[in-house]
Every structure is written in structure tokens, then in C-alpha cells.
Amino acid sequence: MKFVTYASTPGLERLPESQRFRVYRSAYKQLMRTDTQFRRRVRRFRLAILGMTALFLVLSQFWRFISLPGILEPGLNVFLPVMYCLYVVRASFSEQQFENKRVGAALQKDMA
């Protein structure tokens, strides 16, 4: 897994560092207004994170109401948060990579 931030967007390296985030946000907002596929994917990602968070919260509370054998309960108390964190980090990096490609393409089109 590669560490991805907005700063790794293609085309931003040509801009002064003080303007990069502003230009990125501007292109991102423009894509959210005009590109239905981009907007749909971003919303689907946000809903997936919310859904996974709700599932994690329900499951983490569910174990309190049933009796589990000795080692199983502490194991689940460690396993669930670790799996949740791994999912969120992996999904976030994947989504950021997608957004970087689309924003980069929009920047290339605007600069051409």
C-alpha cells in the first residue's frame, strides 16, 4: 500500500507550494459540481465509511450482551478495531488515489 495524499496529485508539482491546496480544492469542487461519476464515487465512499463505522459500533457493543468463552472476548476486542482501522486506511488511500487521478486530469485539461 502506497501512502497517498493530495500533494501527490499529478500537475500540482508545477505550482508554488502555497497555492497547491487551494488549486486542488478548487478542482475537486468543480468535479463535484460537474462530473456525476466522480460525485457518485465520492458519495459511495463516504457512505461505505459511515456504514462500516455503524457496523463496527454495533458489533463492538453486541459482544457485551452475550457470553463468550474466555479468550474469545479479549480477542474480539482487539480484532474488531484493528480490522476496522485497516479497512478505513486502505479504503481512504484507494479513494485518495482515485481522486488524485481525476483532479490531476482536470488540472491538465485546464492548463492545456
Q: What is the 3-state secondary structure (H, E, C) of 5-39?
A: CHHHCCCHHHCCHHHHHHHHHHHHHHHHHHCHHHH
> Which pLDDT does position 74 carry in this prediction?
72
Q: Report the predicted TM-score, pTM, of the whole model to 2 decimal places.
A: 0.84
What digits encode the pLDDT tens for the residues 39-55? 999 999 999 999 999 99
Mean pLDDT of the chain: 89
> Which pLDDT does position 112 carry in this prediction?
64
Here the cell at position 26 is 478548487
